[in-house]
Chains A and B, each alone.
Chain A
Amino acid sequence: MADLILSEIRELISGHTNGYVDAWKAEGRPVIGYFCHYTPRELALAAGACPLRLRGAGSEDSSTGDAYLSGRVCTYVRHTMSLALEGRYDFLDGEITTNTCDHVRRAADLFVKKTEIGFHGFLSVPRTPRESLYGYYLTELRNVIAGLAEHLGVTIGDAELREAIRTVNSIRRRLRTIDELRLEEKPKLSGAEALSVHIASQVLPPAVFIDLADRLIDALRERPGLDASRGRLLLIGAELDEPEYVEAIESQGALVVADQLCFGSRSLLDAIDEDAADPLDAVGRAYFFSTSCARMIGDFPRRWEGMKAAVESARADGVIFERIIFCDPWGAEIHNILHRTAAESTFPVLSLTREYNIVPTGQVKTRVQAFIEKIEIAKAKNQASGVEK
């Protein structure tokens, strides 16, 4: 049963939209696209819209995007914007972009100047999670809410926001359960499957996802565990919404038992207070302070501690870092990770640079295979010398 549900999920995330979103639209209900984790989904939900994470899934080539963005911009943005420039995101009632990075800022230009989408929201998210800067972010959220409300002709008050928080908390609870099932000695699902579920949570109408997730959790509990004896891995990095990539890693025998990916568990916040006196403030604080992307300056020490904690809780044997070529913030991150791992002799790290929408072939598999062998050799040596991991 689990295989069947996971296969359904995989089909649903194979394109930039899906049948459930189409049906939502057909009922006359709005859909709002967004790029970045720092855009709270609660905003669109409170406006009665379905939040849809913008992706390049289904883009066959990026040439339309390349014409505007050049070949020096990350392929995730180029593929996504190819779809947008070809009008395939025109069904959106609005989109919200951020100053996440140079690439997304340029995508914002194109959304405004080159698409037919009717509403363009923008969040200038401060580049460091300092309390004194939080007020700016909160004001940005208020501005986007005001814009959305005006564009969609709705009222977005505290009641609507609280309902949206409740809905997203329901999604979070299910994702957390699924993540816990990955952590078992014999994980109930692979890293590729888990990533698919996380992606689905960001591209399906909430009720649809909650139903799917409930059925999946029940089925996973009955599913035999997977063999992780060749190695348990933590996968970290930026935008990765391609389960095929994780499959290529796992095809070499190890399992990705936890991740800190933008489309994956890093976006999974703790539950937000559903009864907060100021619900927008509760949402803002959760998104601004809880998780940290490499774009956040001066926050690497916290990310590093989070990474070490994740390795420990997942009982991971090693870390695979993935980065789309041309990404500077994550370029700094891998430097700093390597600097810390060398200084603290922590865990083995494999750094992979990749392109979006390219199914990994022999090169990635060979490197992962060598990395797993390195882990196995180290484990064997430790066992031989009586050292516990």
Chain B
Amino acid sequence: MTSEEMIRIPQWRTIFETLPVLRGFFDGDADAHGFSTLLRGVSIYLERMLHHVDQEHPFVWYNLGFNSELVYALEDVCPVTIESLGVMHNLLGDINVSMDFIDNAQSAGIPADCCSADKIAIGAIHQGLYPEPACTVGINTPCDAQVLSTQVMHELSGAPFFAIDVPYYHNDDSIRHVAAQLSELIPFLEEHTGRRLDYDRLREVCTLSNRTTESIWEWLEWRKQVPLTQTSKVAALTLVMQILFTGSREGVDISAALAREAQERCERKERFFEERVRAIWYQDAVWTDMQIYDWFERELGLTIPVDIFGYYANEGLIDTATPETMLYGLARKLVACHPMSRQFRSDMDVYIHDFMNMMEGWKADCCIFAGHIACKHAWGGIGLFKEACRRADVPLLVFEFDMFDPRITPYDDIYFEVERFVNEIVYPRKMRG
């Protein structure tokens, strides 16, 4: 496949045609640093992908539990998160393409009750939309759905495959266990991409990764301000940054732009809506239509300062002193920081503990458990989570929807649930003091 052929593929062409339009729109807004920098980052990533295609550089596929640093540390290797095209269609392109991916995966045998995040990946692979990989990497986090997608990725790609096991426990042994596997992964990547990993280059990549992390932390700090002045719909972008951009210049730029935008809005005390209620959105974002957050803000005065995809735990930066410390730091990101992998891999205590920290730190009034229907480990902990919220006297809304498939729960239903919760429970309660 050449870049020209790739651009002609309808599922790619839509993205390439839509991006400049969206960029023109957001670049025209002097305050939209965050979103316009994200769009610029996506454009750069795609332009580079085309360059890699033309140069016949190796591609490495992986699933959304993995981070991109080690791939960026190899010269002229293109990282591909297998969910990326489906996510781009949800965020920037044509939602019908994402739904086609879902239907395609189901018609190939993926059960309907499995996660749509996997189906958008598997559908795109079945349609042959990603450049063929030199090798693939699969990680078992954050959930069984990722076990599903990695098994299918391995089967359909036919490329050499390396599995990373993240243990159950939230401790240092788990990090060391993963670091040892990253050490094994390097020769695997070198063998199959034909590139040598230069540790000085890895140090540069880790430095960029640290800068991205620091900016995310700074950004999250600014979003603690009451009232929230930056839009709720960017809250979930940390995950996107970690899986596709961390370790790259674009990752630094996007996170810094989000932080700068949040800071400037706070300093100007500028906002476009009256904040009545602050919620922790403690499950999956509504990727199918991020405008729903604008709706919440405008109509209900509901803001989401942080959600589970946006929260990035402060477990420390990557120590770039030696190869070993870098691999340890990268492993710690995968085990202890990566959104969802951190909260769900082990028992429910980390999940509940992080939620309570968010409630306090981001001064929220309530919790919205937006239950992605296929997220079994979240639903499996709902009883304990409800008990924890009850003990802490936190109003909690629980509803079902699908984060990538708008056919499961109509927007009107989501809005109805949220509206009733905000207007009839949380806001009156807040007014009563």
Contact = CB atoms under 8 A, between A and B. Distances in A.
Given A106-B381, A297-B147, A300-B154, A338 B109 contact: yes
Contacts of A351: 109
A226 to B, nearest CB: 32
Interface in B377-394: 377, 379-384
Nearest to A113: B384
Nearest to B162: A298
Contact of A298 (B144, B149, B163, B346): B163
Contacts of B115: 328
A328 B148 contact: yes
A122 B168 contact: yes
A333 interface: yes
A112 B109 contact: no
A376 B75 CA distance: 57
B140 interface: yes
B373 to A, nearest CB: 7
A335 B147 contact: no
Interface in A50-82: 67-74, 77
A336 B381 contact: no
B347 interface: yes
Contacts of A126: 165, 167
B377 A329 contact: no
Given A109-B381, A132-B180, A338-B109, A332 B163 contact: no
A339 B108 contact: yes
Contact of A70 (B148, B181, B379): B379
A112 B180 contact: no
B114 A328 contact: yes
A201 to B, nearest CB: 28
A18 interface: no
A333 B149 CA distance: 10
Interface stretch (A38-46, A95-103, A165-173): A95-103
A124 interface: yes
A130 B381 contact: no
Contact of A109 (B162, B347, B376): B347
A108 interface: yes
Given A126-B165, A128-B163, A132-B180, A325 B380 contact: no
B184 interface: yes
A105 B374 CA distance: 16
A233 B383 CA distance: 41
Contacts of A147: none
Contacts of B346: 105
* Candidate in A67, A106, A329 with the most chain B CB atoms within 10 angstroms: A106
Q: How large is the interface on B (under 10, 10 to 19, 20 to 34, 35 or more residues)?
A: 35 or more
Contacts of B118: 328
Nearest to A97: B168
Contacts of A112: 347
A326 B375 CA distance: 10
B315 interface: no
Contact of B168 (A72, A99, A294, A327): A99
Contacts of B168: 99, 105, 122, 124
Contacts of A68: 382-384
B1 interface: no
B161 interface: yes
A109 B348 contact: yes
Nearest to A98: B168
B399 interface: no
Contacts of B155: 300, 335-336, 339-340
Interface in A319-360: 323, 325-329, 331-340, 351, 353
23 contacts: A69-B379, A72-B373, A99-B168, A101-B144, A102-B144, A102-B344, A105-B347, A106-B377, A107-B380, A109-B380, A112-B347, A124-B168, A126-B167, A132-B180, A136-B165, A323-B111, A328-B147, A328-B376, A331-B111, A332-B147, A336-B155, A338-B109, A339-B108
Interface pairs A-B: 4 shortest CB-CB? A68-B383, A106-B380, A102-B377, A328-B144
Given A298-B151, A331-B113, 20 more contacts: A68-B384, A72-B376, A101-B144, A102-B377, A105-B380, A106-B376, A106-B381, A109-B348, A109-B381, A122-B168, A297-B151, A298-B163, A325-B111, A327-B144, A328-B144, A332-B149, A332-B152, A334-B111, A336-B155, A340-B155
